[in-house]
Structure 1
C-alpha cells in the first residue's frame, strides 16, 4: 500500500484485533450519536404510526409537543450501547474471518463472510441489549428516565435482569440477517470495485482511493441491510414498548406488509449514511495506523476461496 509508512501493529496480531475493536467502538458510537434525532423519530413511527406517519410531520409533532430536547432522547444509550456493539462487531468479525479462513480452507468466500459476521454479531448483541432496552424506553416514554444513568437502575428495579434481555431474540432476529447481509455485501462490493472499476489490487491503490472504495461499498451494504432487517426492527420496538407480549403477537399486530414498509424510509435515510461513515471512520483509523483498508480475506487464502 502506498501512503502511510510504519505499521502500528502487525495484521492479525493481538494488537491488530485490539485496534479493530477500538476503531469499531469509536466509529459506531460517534455515528450513531450523530443520528439520534432520526432514531427517535424512527422508533416513534414504529410504536405510533398513526401519529408519526411521515418524516417531516413526525419531526414537527415531536418538536411542538415535547420541545427540541425530545429529538436527542436516548443519546447516551446510542453512544455507549452502539459503541460497545461496534467494538464487538468489527473486532470479532476481523478475528473470526481470519480464524474461519484458516479452518475452512476449501470453502468459498461467501461462506466465510456469512459465518464470521454471524458469529461476531451474536456477541455484539448480547453486549448491546441492556443499553437498547433503556434507549427505546427513553425515546418513546418521556416519563421513564432521562438517559442511561437513571434508566438502567429503573429498568432493573421494575423488571429485573430479564428486562435487560427481553428483546435479545428479536434483536438477534434483526441484527443477524442485517450483519450477514451488510458484511457480505460490503466484502463483495469491495471486490467488485477493485476488479471492475479500479482494475488494480487494493495494495496498489493510494489510501485516498481505498477510502473511496470503502465509502461506496459501505453505502451499498447499509442500504441492502436496512431492507432485510426492517421487519425485526419493528418487532423489537413493539416488544420494548409493551405493544405485544411476544414476537409472534407483534408480527400479527403490525401486519406482514407493514413489517417491511413501516419506518423503512427513515431507516434508509438513517442506516445508509451511518454505515458509510462507520466504514469510513473505521478504515481511516486503519490507514492512519499504516494498515490497509477493510475487505478481502488473508492473502494466502484468497486463491483457495475464490
Structure 2
C-alpha cells in the first residue's frame, strides 16, 4: 500500500491523491446521512412494532433489513457522484472538478448511462457491505459489552468510544472482504468502453470473465481491509460521539432477560 502511494506521487505528483475528492466528500456525506440515520430510524420503528423481546430475538434480521433498505435509498443519491468520481480519477483531464464534470457527463451521456450505469453494481457492492457492516458491528459491540460486564447505559463516554472503535474495525474488515469483488467491478464498469457494448448486465458479465477470480477477489484486498477497517471504526466512533454531544442516545437492542 505504501509502495502504491509512492508510485502515484512519483508519476503524477501529490495532487493526484486528491483527484476526485470533491464528489467523494459530497457523495459519501449524503450517503452517510441516509445510511446511518435510516438504520437508526428503522431499528426504532421495528422495536416499537415488535416489542422489546421480539426485537431482541430478531435483532439480526432487523439489522440486515434496516441496513439494506437505508443503503438502497442512500445509493440513489450516491451513484451519480460516485460515477463522477471514477470518471475524474480514471481521466484527470476530463474536467476540473465536480461542478464542471457533472454537466459534461449529463450533456454527453445523459442521466441513465452517465450517472446510473453503475447503479446495479453499486447496489451489489454497497448493500452486502452495509448489511455486514451494521450487523457485525452490532454483534461485536454486544459481545465486547458482555466481555467487560457492562451494558451500553453503564459505560463511560471513553468506554463507549473504545467499543465503537473496536467493533468498527471488526465490522469494517468483514464488510471489505464481502464487498471487494463488486467494488472491483464497479471501478471497471464506470470507465468508458469497459465491458464492450450492450446492457449493464452484459458489460458486467464480460468484465467478470475478463478480470478473473484473482483480480476481482484478491487484488488490493489487504489495503482495502486496512482502509475500510480504519474508516468504519472512525465512522462509528464519530457517530456515537456526536449522538452523545447532541444529547441523543444511540438505540441499542435490550435483552429482556439480562
Residue in 1 aligned with 2:235?
Answer: 278
TM-score, structure 1 normalization: 0.76
CA RMSD of aligned residues (A): 1.7
- Aligned equivalents of 1:152 and 1:181: distance in 2? 31
Q: How far apart are the structure 1 equivalents of 2:130 and 2:176?
A: 10
Distance in 2 (alpha carbons) for counterparts of 1:170 and 1:145 = 24
1:240-279 matches, cutoff 5 A: 240-242=190-192, 243-245=194-196, 246-279=203-236
Matches within 5 A, 1:72-221: 72-105=18-51, 106=54, 108-162=58-112, 163-196=114-147, 198-221=148-171
Distance 1:210 1:56, change over 3 A: closer
Q: Secondary structure at the match of 1:124?
A: helix
For 1:208 and 1:156, locate their aligned partners in 2 and report how far apart those are by CA, in whole Å.
47
CA contact (8 A) 1:181 1:224 kept: yes
Whole-angstrom distance in 2 between the partners of 1:226 and 1:68: 26
Q: Distance in 2 between matches of 1:56 and 1:210?
A: 32
Q: Distance in 1 between matches of 2:159 and 2:4?
A: 39
Report the TM-score when normalising by structure 2. 0.90
Per-residue CA deviation, residues 243-276 of structure 1 (Å, 9 max, x unaligned), is 2142111111111232111221221121111111
Residues 94 and 101, structure 2, Cα contact 8 Å, conserved in 1: yes
Paired residue for 2:182? Answer: 232
- Matched with 2:200 is none
Following superposition, the deviation at residue 295 of structure 1 comes to 5.9
The match for 2:199 is none
Give, in whole Å, the separation in 1 of the partners of 2:211 and 2:50: 41
Whole-angstrom CA distance in 1 between matches of 2:82 and 2:39: 21
Structure with the bigger RCO (C-alpha within 8 Å, sep 6+) is 1
Residue 59 of structure 1 is matched in structure 2 by: 5
CA contact (8 A) 2:172 2:232 kept: yes
Alignment coverage as a number of residue pairs: 246
Matches of 1:143 and 1:169, distance apart in 2: 27
Q: CA deviation at 1:61?
A: 2.9
Residue 147 of structure 1 and its aligned partner are, at CA, apart by 1.6
